[in-house]
Structure 1
Amino acid sequence: MGLDEGDLSAALAAGWAIEAAAIDYLPVGAGSFHWSVTDDHGRSWFVKVDRDGPDLRRSFATALALHRAGLDVVVAPVPTLDDAIVHPLPRGYAVTVFPLLDGTPGDFGPHHPEDIPEISGILTALHRATPAVADLAPRTDLRLPGRHDLEAALSDLDRPWTSGPHAEPARALLHRHATRIQDWLAEFDRLTEAVRATTPTWVVTHGEPHPGNVLRTPAGPRLIDWTTVRIAPPERDFWMLTTMLGAEPVDLGLPLSPTATALYRRAWILADVAAFTTDLRTPHRDDADTAAALTYLTGYLD
């Protein structure tokens, strides 16, 4: 990214009047950069840097509006001195500041059965808050991230991939399962057409309410990472409680659509397959990340 701590300190001072006394990089999350910052008064902040853009700003503005509407479970950004959501950084990035809460996050994966009623209640309250952000939150377009690259890879399986040490094993894996992936894409399209007709029932959703985005604090659970917030079918959240990968199906006692639930389960798998394929088809080195990408891709397909 090329951001140094001087740029970050200057942005914090200009945007929030935070004079950083200590800045510690946090190797957490994916697609963003994070720091723990202690200011000269001893207060601590969670600082997040992302690619700037309208969707990012609308997502964080939505989180703040939900918090202001009374949803304490939403960990919302701290507004800047001029009540903005982010402060711009060089090279198209933006910084956002959050309170650094005392709590413990969970791990990615299915929720523990004993936690499901509590999380279901939190999501239900979130969905009921839709009127507060109906004109603010981004809306889902039901498109599959990375689809173009995945289809390009599927059309390029008859010649060697030379982009890196894991490229050929990835090509061989996709070659064995090309028909299966095409069937998944066709299923995704059929499900999407059916779900698109349910637009009037869509609500504000978090998008990834797995345990890794639930912070257990002394004041109760808090939902973090609102970059994925969208107006969407409620099943976009609830599928992670009912059919999360590797979990036994759970009946929440809610009127959920099996079609929408199936769509989001299939979309999650396909988006991961597309992302890992792109990682391995483009230039890469033999490191822990690319080895993990091949392992995860193999897990989905084999």
Structure 2
Amino acid sequence: MEDLPAGLPDHDLRAGLARFGITGPPVYAPVGFGDYHWTVHDRWFTSVSDLTTKPLAGLRQAMETAASLGEQLPFVVAPVRAEDGDTVVLLNDRYALSVFPCVTGESGSFGDQVPAGVAELLTALHSCAPPASCPVAAIDVPGRDVLARLLDEPGEWFSSQAREVFVAHTEVVRDKLAELDQLAGQLTDELVVTHGEPHAGNVINTPAGLRLVDWDTVGLAPPERDLWLIGGDSAFYSLRWAVNDIADFAVSLRAPHEQSRDAELTLHYFTETLKNL
């Protein structure tokens, strides 16, 4: 995210870092899209999640799972534990903090070609014993109920431009939801530990080999949940990705928000995803 999070004073962030035994000035890192990040002393990389869009219970499950996987698999960049053992620390009633070791290396961006070696990492991940904390990844789009209601009655939106493009594509979205249901019935029953988003932006090429970051989407699911992002064939998961983005972006663009660079990017991605359905 390029904008700083609203409603997170610096002293709340520093107090959260202190629970990990970390002191020193946090430096904002405008990378990724969704969470907010800072580095401290080039040793620690922080991820701050907005609990209005990412429920705390699910985040804790994911981080506990990632911590367990990090004990089994060397390529997992896992969260460190706070002094009380927690992997997720509340900063206030809206934001939660996780901390990771900084990893030196090169990463790509979403849409870039995924390094060939990621296939081997996913084979190891899909073969490992699932940690007890590992959640089952949802098959349906989490925001589907909201999306369905908007298709019937779009109502008022803070972003009138977003509303206009959504209304112009309502029939396409309806058709894609029906297609998603049909494709879901063709999924395999096999469930393995999946990363959820092993695209090039979540892969770091380090001197010690490839590393996978950003484990908040980890969950038990068919292997295709990961494999379509590295060139595999899954009509269901590629369509689900697009529909999920539309649902998430619609919620953000309907609600009151600042006119900012992040809002501009959200509108851009929303519009392009709808046009490319």
TM range (shorter): 0.7 to 0.9
Contiguous gaps of at least 5 residues in structure 2? 1-5
User: Within the alignment, does 1:22 sit opposite 2:25 as a pair?
Assistant: yes
Once the two structures are superposed, the pairs formed by residues 71-220 of structure 1 within 5 Å of their partners are 71-112=73-114, 115-116=115-116, 118-129=117-128, 131-133=129-131, 135-156=132-153, 161=156, 163-164=157-158, 166-167=159-160, 169-195=161-187, 198-199=188-189, 201-220=190-209
CA contact (8 A) 1:105 1:215 kept: yes
> What are the superposed Cα offsets for residues 146-204 of structure 1, whole Å, 9 maximum, x if unpaired?
222222222225x7x4x34x42x434433333222111000111222333xx43x1100
- Per-residue deviation, 1:60: 1.0
Query: How far apart, in 2, do the equivalents of 1:182 and 1:86 lie?
Result: 37
Letter in 1 for 2:185: E
User: Partner residue of 2:37?
Assistant: 34
Letter in 1 for 2:199: H
Query: How far apart, in 2, do the equivalents of 1:86 and 1:278 lie?
Result: 25
- Per-residue deviation, 1:207: 0.3
Secondary structure in structure 1 of the residue aligned to 2:100: strand
User: Within the alignment, does 1:280 sit opposite 2:277 as a pair?
Assistant: no
User: Partner residue of 2:16?
Assistant: 11
Query: How far apart, in 2, do the equivalents of 1:132 and 1:180 lie?
Result: 38
Query: How far apart, in 1, do the equivalents of 2:252 and 2:14 lie?
Result: 32
Larger relative helix fraction: 1
With over 3 angstroms needed to count, the CA separation of the structure-2 counterparts of 1:104 and 1:267, relative to structure 1, is same
Once the two structures are superposed, the pairs formed by residues 49-64 of structure 1 within 5 Å of their partners are 49-50=48-49, 51=51, 53-64=56-67
User: Within the alignment, does 1:269 sit opposite 2:268 as a pair?
Assistant: no
Secondary structure in structure 2 of the residue aligned to 1:91: coil
User: Partner residue of 2:3?
Assistant: none
Secondary structure in structure 2 of the residue aligned to 1:34: strand
Letter in 1 for 2:251: T
Contiguous gaps of at least 5 residues in structure 1? 243-249, 251-257
With over 3 angstroms needed to count, the CA separation of the structure-2 counterparts of 1:85 and 1:291, relative to structure 1, is closer
With over 3 angstroms needed to count, the CA separation of the structure-2 counterparts of 1:174 and 1:96, relative to structure 1, is closer
CA contact (8 A) 2:89 2:96 kept: yes
Letter in 1 for 2:90: P
- Per-residue deviation, 1:269: 1.0
Query: How far apart, in 2, do the equivalents of 1:175 and 1:87 lie?
Result: 40
With over 3 angstroms needed to count, the CA separation of the structure-2 counterparts of 1:266 and 1:37, relative to structure 1, is same
Query: How far apart, in 2, do the equivalents of 1:295 and 1:79 lie?
Result: 37
Q: How many residues end up aligned between the 2 structures?
A: 266
**Over aligned residue pairs, what C-alpha RMSD do you find?**
2.2
What's the TM-score once normalised by structure 1's chain length? 0.80
- Per-residue deviation, 1:233: 0.7
CA contact (8 A) 1:110 1:240 kept: no
CA contact (8 A) 1:79 1:85 kept: yes
User: Partner residue of 1:245?
Assistant: none
With over 3 angstroms needed to count, the CA separation of the structure-2 counterparts of 1:276 and 1:97, relative to structure 1, is closer
Secondary structure in structure 2 of the residue aligned to 1:35: strand
Letter in 2 for 1:49: V
CA contact (8 A) 2:62 2:135 kept: yes
Query: How far apart, in 2, do the equivalents of 1:65 and 1:271 lie?
Result: 28
User: Partner residue of 1:247?
Assistant: none
